[in-house]
Structure 1
């Protein structure tokens, strides 16, 4: 949303509709807050969908937008129910979304834009939905912000980034790292917050890795970590289209990733710009870490191939694809 709004606003009038006042990313365009905050109870959620639908319908009618993009289920559900022509963006594996919404509501969108080819394939083959295309998440190759934090006290280090949540499977990463030869020379830094923080801290203590594994919390200067890390590792069980892999490649950081659904296999050309390991396979992850960490030629190959492997995701190219939907 951040990159896309800023790029599209260069030649278009952009309006961002919020359900509450919270917006934690940079943006461009006009803001409209309809003040329908998220509810937890089933009753609250039902009323919320109705309120959002009614308010969105009024706004769509008044503003007469040329295109309406709805990102994520919480936005495309009420948007589709307005019966306006909606371009819905599906950001995650459909198996992890509401089956009812995916089967009965989502097909009523004018177009469905998926963030990976495998998500598009699932919608076509498993749900028989045909009004589907894929547009990958963008990266701005020219303005990756660096803050200049010196991380030499941790070097050499391996890097993981993401919510401390079951989906990210940091347990696998920590366990695999604990069994590598690389741990004798390297540290593992994990950036992000979440409900599993105490559980992961306990795990680190039990493995006697307090001087080797650091849960760094949330960081704004992620680019500094990509640039200074030896290897970036994604250990997720599932994804949509993992931006962290693209960002790592844009910063010439060698990568290892689980071949989870969906996204990594569409970003990584195995042993050209990174390494794919079997999803959930701790042994393969351990071997991949050591293989890459101690192989300077392979590291240099990955670095040399990194940026050109994601040039097709440049924001200018991706923004144009969004403008071409429904034309």
Structure 2
């Protein structure tokens, strides 16, 4: 079997990580040739993907629309069994490549972010184009894969072909192997008593993981930290890229306004994010929207108590409507502060329970679901 993963660039985004995880796992268990087709080889993850033994083919496209003909030629040359793409613009271009290629191939397109929320900062003309892509061009797809059921419902409102859509959650890249010191279910009372030490002078250590961009709404989290600090010594590590200088300057100014320079640390991008999960008492996601929320599952895999906004889409599905972690309304700093303290003092579930839940999103399980989908579209197309 030969698979082309089509993505505009191999950076550190969520879709890229999903494709890499799935490709790595599939190649372990099946005789598969995998090619990553990108606009150009400028992505930060290109070297890593090549080190895993996968071929990276540059389409030499200055923008995604210019990739339509080069990808069609690549499809004709390589004759893959399936093409899987990600992100709306790239998906649409990929489907047009399918139409003009001289080799018939099934195409699976995937959406990784809440559509309306992700598009809200686009111009009206761009929004119309994106809605046209999802509502009409996606009809050319063999399947439309969404990373949460909420996102799938949103896609269906535009596409109106529910038989084409399905949900496969994102895989978690960690397996809980760093959590062997966590207590089991029988030690829940002792674990809670230890955590209650935050009522003393000990610092409550929080971690948030994600780029400093408007989507992550770190402004609300910073305001929540200022509230917590009035009651409790606290420290927050924000682990994620700071390339959006406008948003970074905005949140840095807010940190200064509240006098939290020594309380909140911007770590930047880290390829050892597990060290920050391991050091934290509570994980916090303050996003205004998501497509899934990979970092929640990552934190769960370390047995880390979870607090998240109940944003569209993903967190409530991962946490089963608050069974595995506490949920606050989007943009509500007071509610977020309250449940952070509550979760630190009295975790909803034990670390072992969180680790067990995270295994529902293991690379093995998710890759097997991709493999079933791939075989389904190949069989249907033949």
After TM superposition, list the pairs within 5 Å mapping 1:102-251 onto structure 2: 102-130=134-162, 131-142=164-175, 156-180=204-228, 184-192=232-240, 193=242, 194-195=244-245, 196-251=247-302
Deviates more, 1:244-253 or 1:26-35: 26-35
State whether residues 182 and 290 of structure 1, in contact with CA within 8 Å, keep that contact through their aligned partners in structure 2. no
- Aligned CA RMSD, in angstroms, stands at 2.1
What is the DSSP-based 3-state SS (H/G/I as helix, E as strand, rest coil) of the residue aligned with 2:110?
A: strand
CA distance in 2, matches of 1:90, 1:144: 30
Distance 1:112 1:244, change over 3 A: same
Q: Displacement, 1:157? A: 1.4
Q: Distance in 2 between matches of 1:144 and 1:19?
A: 36
8 Å contact 2:176–2:302 — kept in the other structure? no
Match of 2:351 among 284, 298, 303: 303
Out of 64, 80, 88, the position equivalent to 2:79 is 64
TM-score normalised by structure 1 residue count:
0.87
Q: Structure 1 stretches of 5 or more lacking a match? A: 39-47, 147-153
Secondary structure of the corresponding residue to residue 257 of structure 1:
strand
Query: Contact (CA 8 Å) 1:144, 1:223: kept in 2 or not?
Result: no
- Say whether the 8 Å CA contact 2:203–2:232 is kept in structure 1: no
Partners of 1:197 and 1:156 lie apart in 2 by 24
Secondary structure, in 3 states, of the residue corresponding to 1:180? helix
Deviation of 1:37 (Å): 3.1
Displacement of 1:18 in angstroms is 1.4
Question: 1:272–1:305: 8 Å Cα contact kept in structure 2?
Answer: no
1:14 counterpart = 2:46:
no
| Residue of structure 1 aligned with 2:43, choices 12, 23, 27 | 23
**Equivalent residues in 2 for 1:78-89, closer than 5 Å:** 78-82=93-97, 83=99, 84-89=105-110
Aligned residues: 307
1:92 to 64, 89, 113: 113
Shift of the alpha carbon at 1:122? 1.8
1:7-26 deviation digits (Å, cap 9, x = unpaired):
12222111111111123333
**Aligned runs of 1:283-302 on 2, under 5 Å?**
283-295=334-346, 298=347, 301-302=349-350
Asked if residue 274 in structure 1 is aligned to residue 299 in structure 2, the reply is no
Q: CA deviation at 1:272?
A: 3.4
Distance of aligned partners of 1:177 and 1:169 in 2 relative to their CA distance in 1, 3 Å threshold: same
Query: Are positions 1:32 and 2:47 aligned together?
Result: no
- Provide Cα deviations, 1:3-56, integer angstroms capped at 9, x if missing partner: 112112222111111111123333342221111133xxxxxxxxx51x311111
